[in-house]
């Protein structure tokens, strides 16, 4: 079955995803796996095109898969926890101490977001007691905001959630939001359209994991070929993107992905991919022991992970085995 990745189909798929959660096969009933179900906690757009292309390449290798896009990141995480999806792509750190057999095996995207705020907020200190908007509970944007709040000794006022950087950028430009965290393309959009109203505040210096590719250890053990194919194809593509940012535009056209995207948006894909690679949004090495430790540092300070930092083990959150095997096979 061909998966359509247009914005309309993804948004229409929100209701289908909810129904799917009620009727999907449970974890453990996957011995005769016919399709890898991938839960993604956002809409598929230009930024997530590399993910869609990597999974399309996995399908080329004979590992059928289906992307199920959820309106909220926590729904994608819950679907993976409950077995209605096999693999999740989201920020699972807030639940990993409770669901102890979840492991990240590849960093899909680093936490390269930006705090975009009204110019009346000159520093983070000016946001003490002020309203703030995040993507979702437990998301990378919330961890980012909590991290910076603790670093600056402030506490936000009313917290609200609005899924999707695109929706938050529209709300900012409409005057409904004064402070939020946006992804790279929507940061560019807001600053381009309203440079006199908004500016950026400094963010974390470490490029930690925002979206990890994760699964239950039992599923990974039962499906080593699928795990290996996913890891290898993401690693190969992200390395290709570093050498040739134009590969994403080429693959998009060849595979008919986001076919309803406006021409002016499509023409900017390569420039955006290059900007993302230069900023560290996609990691051409996929992860490492050092990255796993940086994740623990960040998510511990932000409050998503509990307990003394010196007692937290990277191996309780990451399984680097598939990535090490992929690097040995592919080189590097």
Per the CB < 8 A criterion, the answer to whether 33 and 226 are in contact is yes
Q: Do the Cβ atoms of 186 and 135 come closer than 8 Å?
A: no
Of all residues in the chain, what percent carry a pLDDT higher than 90?
Answer: 75
The H-assigned helical ranges of 115-180 are: 140-152, 165-173
pLDDT for the residue 4: 29
CA distance 107 to 142: 18
Q: In Å, what is the CA distance from 69 to each residue of 6, 97, 122, 182?
A: 11, 25, 36, 19
Contact 67, 10 (CB under 8 A): no
Distance CA(204)–CA(198), nearest Å, equals 19
What is residue 301's predicted lDDT score, i.e. its pLDDT?
A: 87
Q: Which residues are CB-contacts of 123 (< 8 A; sequence separation ≥ 6)?
A: 152, 201
Q: Is 28 exposed, middle or buried (0-12, 13-18, 19+ CB in 10 A)?
A: exposed
Contact 94, 33 (CB under 8 A): no
- Residue 260 DSSP class: T
Residues of the chain with pLDDT under 70: 1-33
Position 264 scores a pLDDT of 82
What pLDDT, on the 0 to 100 scale, is given for residue 33?
A: 60
Are 93 and 305 in contact by the 8 Å Cβ rule? The answer is yes
Pick from 28, 300, 27: nearest CA to 39:
27
Please list, in sequence order, all residues whose beta carbon lies within 8 angstroms of the beta carbon of residue 98, skipping any fewer than 6 positions away: none
Task: Write the pLDDT tens digit of every residue in 122-174.
Answer: 999 999 999 999 998 888 899 899 999 999 999 999 999 998 899 999 999 99
Whether the Cβ atoms of residue 228 and residue 215 lie closer than 8 Å to each other? no
User: What does pTM read for this prediction?
Assistant: 0.80
């Amino acid at each position: 079955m061909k998966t359509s990745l247009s914005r309309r189909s993804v948004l229409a798929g929100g209701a289908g995803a909810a129904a799917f959660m009620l009727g999907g096969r449970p974890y453990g009933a996957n011995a005769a796996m016919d399709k890898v179900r991938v839960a993604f906690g956002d809409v598929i757009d230009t930024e997530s095109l590399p993910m869609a292309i990597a999974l399309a390449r996995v399908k080329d290798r004979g590992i059928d898969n289906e992307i199920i896009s959820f309106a909220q990141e926590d729904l994608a995480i819950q679907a993976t926890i409950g077995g209605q999806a096999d693999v999740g792509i989201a920020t699972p750190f807030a639940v990993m101490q409770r669901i102890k057999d979840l492991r990240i095996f590849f960093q899909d995207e680093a936490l390269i977001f930006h705090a975009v705020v009204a110019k009346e907020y000159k520093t983070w200190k000016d946001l003490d007691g002020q309203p703030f908007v995040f993507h979702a509970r437990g998301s990378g944007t919330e961890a980012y905001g909590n991290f910076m709040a603790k670093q600056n000794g402030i506490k936000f006022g009313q917290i609200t959630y609005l899924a999707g950087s695109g929706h938050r950028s529209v709300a900012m430009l409409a005057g409904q939001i004064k402070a939020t965290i946006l992804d790279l393309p929507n940061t560019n959009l807001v600053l381009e359209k309203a440079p006199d109203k908004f500016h950026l505040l400094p963010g974390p210096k470490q490029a930690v994991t925002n979206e990890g590719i994760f699964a239950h250890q039992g599923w990974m053990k039962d499906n080593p070929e699928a795990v290996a194919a996913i890891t290898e194809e993401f690693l190969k593509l992200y390395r290709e993107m570093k050498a040739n940012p134009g590969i994403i535009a080429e693959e998009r056209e060849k595979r008919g992905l986001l076919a309803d995207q406006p021409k002016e948006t499509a023409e900017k894909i390569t420039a955006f991919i290059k900007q993302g690679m230069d900023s560290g949004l996609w990691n051409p090495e996929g992860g490492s022991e050092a990255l796993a430790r940086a994740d623990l540092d960040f998510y511990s300070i932000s409050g998503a992970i509990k307990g003394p930092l010196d007692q937290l083990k990277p191996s309780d959150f990451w399984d680097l085995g598939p990535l090490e095997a992929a690097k040995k096979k592919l080189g590097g």
